[in-house]
Amino acid sequence: MDFRKQLRADQARVEIAIALAAGACGARVEDVTHGGRNIRTAFARHVAMYLASVGFGMSLGRVARAFGRDRSTVRHACQLMEERRESPGFDQWMEALEASVARAPVAS
């Protein structure tokens, strides 16, 4: 796949992850996308980054590029989500979100 096509597909995947995470966390998509810093928005962004990485199988670098963030920021978000998955309730919630992402149609 050429680089531009991959960027477009990655951006589409990230938009799906953001919309799903925002809805699940009660945050506004615009705030998640544009760097809102309140706790709900930051948490939704972490969830979206994790979903893009784990649910869509994107590398941390690709997720970072699509979010306009540094790779270390994405790694930190994913680590936080992995730590929280030790809680059975959170793990079940995240499994449901991952299943939703896995079913999302994305043109490649």
Q: How do the domains of the chain map onto residue ranges?
A: 3-100
E strand intervals along the chain: none
Q: What length is written for the chain?
A: 108
The pLDDT, as a whole number, for residue 105 is: 81
DSSP, res 71: H
pLDDT digits (tens, 9 = 90+) for 34-56: 988 899 999 999 999 999 999 99
Enter the pTM of the model: 0.93
Q: What class does CATH assign to 3-100?
A: mainly alpha
Q: Are 11 and 61 within 8 A, CB to CB?
A: no
Between 101 and 108, name the one with better pLDDT: 101
The pLDDT, as a whole number, for residue 35 is: 83
